[in-house]
Structure 1
């Protein structure tokens, strides 16, 4: 195929992707949907474990086994230092796992790395299941976190590479839904075992982690590798075979060739723009801006107050709710999170841009967190604790309508295709770094033997959420409806964030293209 034919085929593919409805794209790439759906199921394990361990601190049998007796009122408690350490163990491991995945996936591809990580995790689960001390439990969390970092960074990157334009936001955000499903499963398991008077109350939840590798490893052996990976490796025939598997038997030869041409042209454009494939390249030139956006959007999930308002069973306990009320509310809150994520798919994402959704959601979370803090001044009202608990559930719903979904989607969209995996890894590591800091602070905010701030913590996280809102207003561009090639041009030309939506881009002669704003009366 000549250069001119390649450009024409790529333009034709881009035009078709823009004109297609979501339903038409789904029917045309149903196997791509299936495999993206399946790969993302690995993230259920991370959501399950993180919700499990964070909520074990209010679990009577867990606190008795790994903590110490404080007083008749407080009962058994882990020290704030051990709470922070156990909370952060998997996060620290996941940080290094995500960093490692940037190298491994570039060299070996998503599929082989994912299957290997699942096999390794199957062995590491024995450490947490058999843990006889908090030290052994911490070691198990650290090592298991290596694999969770791989799952969390592979799933959105894979989804963004195997699906057409108007499906990518749904399946990259499906990763977030899998995270919620894992949390919901953990909440249900905890609620069902909270009154069990033995160490099996917390060992059974650990043992259930073996279900996922046993199911996923044999299924993923049949998954196709990303066609983008093959193009970057100079293997166009393998990329074509992968596309044929993703689009199915109903796809025409022209459709496959046009899609392959679009991938090849985008990769060639980025090579021409001197975009490399190393971590260092993520911080060069206009790539630094893309990396910044990915990092802050992912870290914004924590900065919006998720450590406080989302995993809130310990907070519920400290404001006077019983263990039974606490874990029932936790199940309800996680169910509301999943409902909010589905509502986002149906009522929000099809009609509004990424920038508007993110700003509105962050503004809502700021308001709720400050209200929780203000309510804590009413210490003489016995209903304040319940009102604060209800507000955390409302926060959860608003969070999952917005940042909860887009925190996964935007990092997978915003990076250049040659650096996509590494951009996602860096962004997820920004999340892990901020999460580790928050998980160190949060036990001290809540623990009655430390700062004991309870609802006043809402002021702190409301402040961090406000700062993130201000950043997003000035720095977060609109990505909806843009092909990866168009995004390359927009970032290369330095288009301001607030003008991304209104800028016309021609990608035929991308290096010479200058941006011009659309006539808004015609767009």
Structure 2
């Protein structure tokens, strides 16, 4: 039986062996309890945690909507006429390739700044306050792209808007990872992928609905709709609880206990809340014993370096797998020979496919691990790119093959949305030590963005008719890069499904190979004591 409330809180406040024994016993009980819960039991026990994890992930719906607009405007007749250049040889208006590159990279380049800021301010002020301030700043910045008279002003507006977008990019999964029980962690940290899809689906619907509008409002209305998100999201952030892990790192134990009570069902006993609090303190103490602090430099020290590498690489795999080519591929559809109207219809269908596929991912992830789904998904996506590239040869003379290529990009998107898309978000949110979660996720998202900058620079030149004009053959380029990602995953990507944060700490400290994370045996108290003992021994050894 777990210790009662008063004795446990009294013993946690003590120093020395008695405190250690009390924490060990409670942490072991709470860890067993975490492993015993299935999905529906966890939902019933922690309904409020489920709600708030979903609610603050809605910031990603806004980001998904905002960031998808500009690249889809390139095939928009009204946008091209307003900001583009007329090419007599092609008899049409086009956004010059150099400006396509600049506008495509603007959201990602500004996000780098936002992510760096996020790594500093979230640990200091907490997730809620950072979200509220970022939403207020975004409201002001939206005026610039909405009223932009030319491409330079539009570019400036996109860069400024992307700074708060960068802040939002990781907050949803980081927050969800810190308030959810183990049984819900995978689904609620990967929920941001469906939030992306919802935002993009809304954007695609708006764009499809306005494609025949002959005025500038065809693209200004979608820009204006960016203002519909911040106010309700601000209210949700204001009402949300702080992360209990963050409160523990700030030594605000009583507040952390209050948050755990708030996140739990009324039927959850005080003893259960106490043991969960003790498990979190136990994990925090273990990470503190390994000299992990909440700074960027700690992400590159000891075993955290390996964890940072994994978080960065698994998010980079999203774009290295051909995301620029196949995800939201309106421009590819038009360059392959489809009309603008058909291209936007296919694009809208693609986001609907992504929505359904992400929901399917939540079902599959209850039986399959992150590692197996990511490796399997990358393999299928690579084969799909090979087929798309091969079809580019007959597609030069056959409209049927062009449609087949377009449909195969939807197949790629479905595979991505079932496997790599949501699973990479879940794994990146789980893999870091809790004390450097914000910093590790900031670095990982920045690694993704920097990779996206490079792929975003390459893709327009590969596919644009005024540049390399590879059309469907572009798939061969991404097929080769995706193959390299598969090789890395086989040797370096560990399994995080079913492991508590303390168990992951122990596996990394023991140097467990990636392919053994799922099957490795752990004795929580013994292994934690050995790791803490080794750290103390190193500290006290004479120079």
- The 5 A counterparts of 1:339-418 are 339-346=356-363, 348-378=364-394, 379-418=396-435
Aligned counterpart, 1:142: 159
Aligned counterpart, 1:49: 66
2:186 equivalent to 1:169: yes
Post-superposition offset of 1:256: 1.1
Aligned counterpart, 1:263: 280
Q: Is the Cα contact below 8 Å between 1:307 and 1:439 reproduced in 2?
A: yes
Aligned residue among 102, 112, 117 for 1:100: 117
Corresponding residue SS for 2:337: coil
Post-superposition offset of 1:60: 0.4
Q: Is the Cα contact below 8 Å between 1:477 and 1:500 reproduced in 2?
A: yes
**CA distance in structure 2 between the partners assigned to 1:339 and 1:178 by the alignment:** 12
Post-superposition offset of 1:406: 1.3
- The 5 A counterparts of 1:63-212 are 63-71=80-88, 73=90, 75-212=92-229
Q: Is the Cα contact below 8 Å between 1:156 and 1:412 reproduced in 2?
A: yes
**CA distance in structure 2 between the partners assigned to 1:295 and 1:462 by the alignment:** 20
**CA distance in structure 2 between the partners assigned to 1:130 and 1:248 by the alignment:** 48
**CA distance in structure 1 between the partners assigned to 2:91 and 2:393 by the alignment:** 22
Q: Is the Cα contact below 8 Å between 2:44 and 2:265 reproduced in 1?
A: no
**CA distance in structure 2 between the partners assigned to 1:512 and 1:17 by the alignment:** 21
Aligned residue among 353, 356, 369 for 1:336: 353
Q: Is the Cα contact below 8 Å between 1:445 and 1:457 reproduced in 2?
A: yes
**CA distance in structure 1 between the partners assigned to 2:131 and 2:365 by the alignment:** 29
Post-superposition offset of 1:72: 6.3
Post-superposition offset of 1:513: 5.2
Post-superposition offset of 1:71: 3.1
2:39 equivalent to 1:22: yes
Cα deviation digits, residues 426-483 of structure 1 (max 9, x gap): 1000110011111111111121111111001000111111100010011101111001
Aligned counterpart, 1:518: none
Post-superposition offset of 1:73: 3.8
Bigger Rg, which one:
2
**CA distance in structure 1 between the partners assigned to 2:397 and 2:138 by the alignment:** 49
> How many pairs are equivalent?
513
Pick closer, same or farther for the CA change 1:52–1:74 going to 2, 3 Å: farther
**CA distance in structure 2 between the partners assigned to 1:466 and 1:329 by the alignment:** 27
Post-superposition offset of 1:163: 0.5
**CA distance in structure 1 between the partners assigned to 2:106 and 2:267 by the alignment:** 47
Q: Is the Cα contact below 8 Å between 2:56 and 2:236 reproduced in 1?
A: no
**CA distance in structure 1 between the partners assigned to 2:369 and 2:235 by the alignment:** 38
Corresponding residue SS for 1:501: coil
**CA distance in structure 2 between the partners assigned to 1:147 and 1:406 by the alignment:** 24
Aligned residue among 328, 334, 339 for 1:322: 339
**CA distance in structure 2 between the partners assigned to 1:245 and 1:143 by the alignment:** 37
Corresponding residue SS for 1:249: coil
TM-score by length of 1: 0.97
Aligned counterpart, 2:15: none
**CA distance in structure 2 between the partners assigned to 1:259 and 1:135 by the alignment:** 53
Q: Is the Cα contact below 8 Å between 1:489 and 1:513 reproduced in 2?
A: no
Cα deviation digits, residues 384-436 of structure 1 (max 9, x gap): 21110000000000000111101211110000000111111110001100111
Q: Is the Cα contact below 8 Å between 1:301 and 1:404 reproduced in 2?
A: yes
Q: Is the Cα contact below 8 Å between 2:311 and 2:431 reproduced in 1?
A: yes
**CA distance in structure 1 between the partners assigned to 2:233 and 2:91 by the alignment:** 42
**CA distance in structure 1 between the partners assigned to 2:193 and 2:164 by the alignment:** 17
**CA distance in structure 1 between the partners assigned to 2:528 and 2:192 by the alignment:** 34
**CA distance in structure 2 between the partners assigned to 1:412 and 1:344 by the alignment:** 17
Cα deviation digits, residues 188-209 of structure 1 (max 9, x gap): 0000001100110000001111
Q: Is the Cα contact below 8 Å between 2:328 and 2:350 reproduced in 1?
A: no
Corresponding residue SS for 2:86: strand
Aligned Cα root-mean-square deviation (Å):
1.1
Post-superposition offset of 1:81: 1.0
Aligned residue among 233, 237, 247 for 1:230: 247
Unaligned runs of 5+ in 1: 515-523
